[in-house]
Amino acid sequence: MKTEAQQKLPFIPAWRGDESLYSWASSFHKNCGNGSHRDTGMLLFGAAHACKERDAPTGIPHFVHATDGNLGNLPELLRTRCSVGIFIPFLTPARRAIFIDRAETANGPGWTTTLGMSASGLSPNSHLRYCESCLNEDLANLQLPRWRWPHQLAGSWVCSDHAQPLKTAIHRSFTWILPNVSIGEYLHAEPTPTQLEVLQRMSRLAQYAAHQEHLDLYAIRQSVLNELRRQGISSWSHPLNTSRLAGWFSASELAEWLRTAQSPESSLAAGTWIHDLLRGRRGDHPLKWLLLWSVLFAHEQDASSHRRLSRPWSEPQWDTFGQSSLWIEDMTGLPADINQIILNAETLADAAKKLGITTGALRDRLVQLGDRGGSYRKGHGMPLRRQRAVNSILKFIAHRPDCTLGDIHRECKAAVSWLRANSPEDFAIATRELQAKSTRQMPLF
């Protein structure tokens, strides 16, 4: 006799258009007569509390087995049916592999930690949103409403099909529910015609980004810096100015609308986060990139803006003297070998000596790139320093498979201290196997 974990559904309803995974489960709960929300969670995801996890249920591998893979495998469901799908293109290949592995095994920290959201300064949005016009069309055509996946993405506040602001469902309890006019509220003021057009562009950009296999954040960052200088928002000869960037963004139509929102996103209207985002000092939350991109390239058509986001190296770069050249992979401000020398040297003077130039000449070149020597080494060296710290911990664990978290704290003090101060999510990822083994309670028997 098969156990509950091995059961497969005798009847598997098809997807209803672009509905989300949570929407499919809610429809299944209503149509297949499951009286208990806990029973539905156990049947579909092997977890009684699955209805609480609207972004990405931890039991998706159970769901894939229960549906015999007919509705898609785990990576497909995460990318195209869960709202966390918009985070995945912004991940490096290594971090994406870690995220998929965590989702398959359900070991280690949760997805918010794995995706670096604890360092982003912005909590993930787990609200459910719907369009009243879509709801009425679904009732007429499908006899049952649905939660559309594009509406749940970060940055989607307007239905791109009906040019209508989305309502947010206000939940009194965690259950499997479907959209209903009575459970929704507008958490922001009615947008002006100009703001509505900006929000439509933002929604289309969010959908485009979510459908990309991978986005090169490093190249995107360089493209943003170049455009800021081209528009005169940032100087070619001085480092980025926090207050100047914030003032430019806060004066935009999008920021004006954000200030009316009754949600955590309203804090982004000030624009003070842009400097840290461009210097890689905070978590790369997709919403921040989408907001910045939408305002910076508001003058471009959607097709051009989308193409620039997915292939930033193909767009022309204008230097200080107005000369244009196509970006190639090595045109990141400094050649890769020179960049490595600067980051590995103890001081800027040591780097200049190794390059055979004066310290002043090297410092002037960095200033032309919009940074000073110290902040350049700190900002651009962060990924290298992060990787070294993680490798140090992983190497220790490989030599000491029976080690504990206490052993790592004692033997890898420098790496642990740096990661906990600068990138706590990487520390959690590096030690996820040990954390999965630990328990807060002693067994009774």
Using the predicted structure, report yes or no on whether residue 441 has a pLDDT greater than 70. no
Query: Sheet containing 167-169: which strands, arranged edge to edge?
Result: 129-130, 167-169, 184-185
The answer to whether the beta carbons of residues 289 and 300 sit under 8 Å apart is no
| Relative orientation angle of helices 217-230 and 286-296, to the nearest 10 degrees | 30
Span of 171-180, 235-244, 284-293, 396-405 with lowest mean pLDDT: 235-244
d(CA 373, CA 69): 53
pLDDT of the residue at 327 = 39
d(CA 403, CA 434): 8
Copy the structure tokens of residue 194: 């100009």
Cα→Cα distances 222→218, 225, 337, Å: 6, 5, 18
pLDDT tens by residue, 223-273: 898 889 888 898 766 678 889 999 999 999 999 999 988 877 888 999 999
CA 325 to chain centre: 31
pLDDT of the residue at 435 = 67
> Is the Cα torsion angle 252, 256, 261, 263 positive or negative in sign?
positive
Copy the structure tokens of residue 350: 């040591």
Span of 136-140, 175-179, 210-214, 264-268 with lowest mean pLDDT: 264-268
pLDDT tens by residue, 326-342: 333 333 456 566 777 77
Place 312 in a pLDDT band, splitting at 50, 70 and 90: confident
pLDDT of the residue at 123 = 54
Using the predicted structure, report yes or no on whether residue 373 has a pLDDT greater than 60. no
Name residues whose C-beta falls within 8 Å of residue 342's C-beta, 6 or more positions apart in sequence: 334, 348, 351, 362, 376, 377, 380
CA 342 to chain centre: 30
| Cβ contacts of 340-346, under 8 Å, gap ≥ 24 | 342/376, 342/377, 342/380, 343/377, 343/380, 343/381, 343/384
pLDDT of the residue at 329 = 38
401 CB-side CA count, 13 A: 0
DSSP 159: E
Using the predicted structure, report yes or no on whether residue 309 has a pLDDT greater than 90. yes
pLDDT of the residue at 81 = 95
Using the predicted structure, report yes or no on whether residue 440 has a pLDDT greater than 80. no
Token pair 């947008």 in the structure block, residue = 191
Where is pLDDT greater, at 240 or 195?
Answer: 195
Using the predicted structure, report yes or no on whether residue 5 has a pLDDT greater than 70. no
Token pair 């220790």 in the structure block, residue = 396
pLDDT of the residue at 358 = 78
Using the predicted structure, report yes or no on whether residue 320 has a pLDDT greater than 50. no
Using the predicted structure, report yes or no on whether residue 23 has a pLDDT greater than 70. yes
SS3 325: strand
Cα→Cα distances 440→110, 191, 397, 436, 443, Å: 17, 49, 21, 11, 10
Paired with 324 in beta bridges are 318
Report the share of the chain in percent with pLDDT over 70: 80
- State phi, psi for 378 to the nearest 5 degrees: -70, -50
Burial of residue 398 (CB within 10 Å: 0-12, 13-18, 19+) is exposed
Copy the structure tokens of residue 37: 């929300």
pLDDT of the residue at 126 = 64
Q: What is the mean pLDDT of residues 395-403?
A: 87
pLDDT tens by residue, 117-135: 655 545 555 679 999 999 9
